[in-house]
Amino acid sequence: MKILIIEDEEPAYKRLQKMLKELEPGHTLHDQIVSVSSAVKWFKENKAPDLIISDIQLSDGISFEIFKQVDIKCPVIFTTAYDQYAIEAFKVNSIDYLLKPVKKKNWKKQLQNSKHLLQQQQCLHLILINCCYRCSPTAPTIKNVLWFAMANI
């Protein structure tokens, strides 16, 4: 699993990095992102990760600004010391909202949930491709939307 951490506090990033290495040793951890502006730049230049773990209050603003500037489809786990952002978090692909300090057992559960979600998405994608191909090997696609005849499903 490819994980991107958006966290501006170095000690929090190191704790999270250590916990992820213990709980998910086979993951790929991208560079640390510390600000809204660097996150927007990163998303414009790189393929989306499988999971984003993001603090909310960053050095140059609130992380929700990232989602207003870049279309992000992958799941997000928000971590913060504040509970006031929970409702807004679930408007931008959030699968959880964890209050700091986050306990190891909570991370373990969320990583398992994230892996399961990723597997479901991959399976659904393969089903849609197979179904579409059966309808027409040259079925049109528009921005990740596959069009096919409902009678052939």
DSSP output for 37-89: HHHHHHHHHS---SEEEEESEETTEETHHHHHHS---S-EEEEES-STTHHHH
Helix axes 104-135, 10-23, angle to 10 degrees: 70
Q: Which fold has domain 2-121?
A: Rossmann fold (3.40.50)
Q: Please indicate whether residue 124 or residue 86 has the higher confidence score (pLDDT).
A: 86
pLDDT in tens, 56-109: 999 999 999 999 999 998 889 898 888 899 889 988 888 888 888 877 776 667
Q: To 5 degrees, how large is the angle CA 37–CA 40–CA 44?
A: 140
Q: 143: alpha, beta or left, given left = phi > 0 and alpha = psi -120 to 50? A: left
Q: Provide the pLDDT confidence category of residue 122 given band limits of 50, 70 and 90.
A: low
Distances (CA, A) of 123 to 31, 64, 120: 28, 29, 5
More confident residue, 19 or 42: 42
Mean pLDDT across the chain, nearest whole number?
80
Q: What is the pLDDT of residue 128?
A: 62
Judge whether residue 148 has pLDDT over 70: no
Poorest-confidence range of 52-56, 67-71, 111-115, 148-152? 148-152
CA–CA separation, 128 and 18 (whole Å): 38
Count Cβ atoms within 10 A of the Cβ of residue 68 and give its class: 0-12 exposed, 13-18 middle, 19 or more buried: exposed
The answer on pLDDT for 150 being more than 50 is no
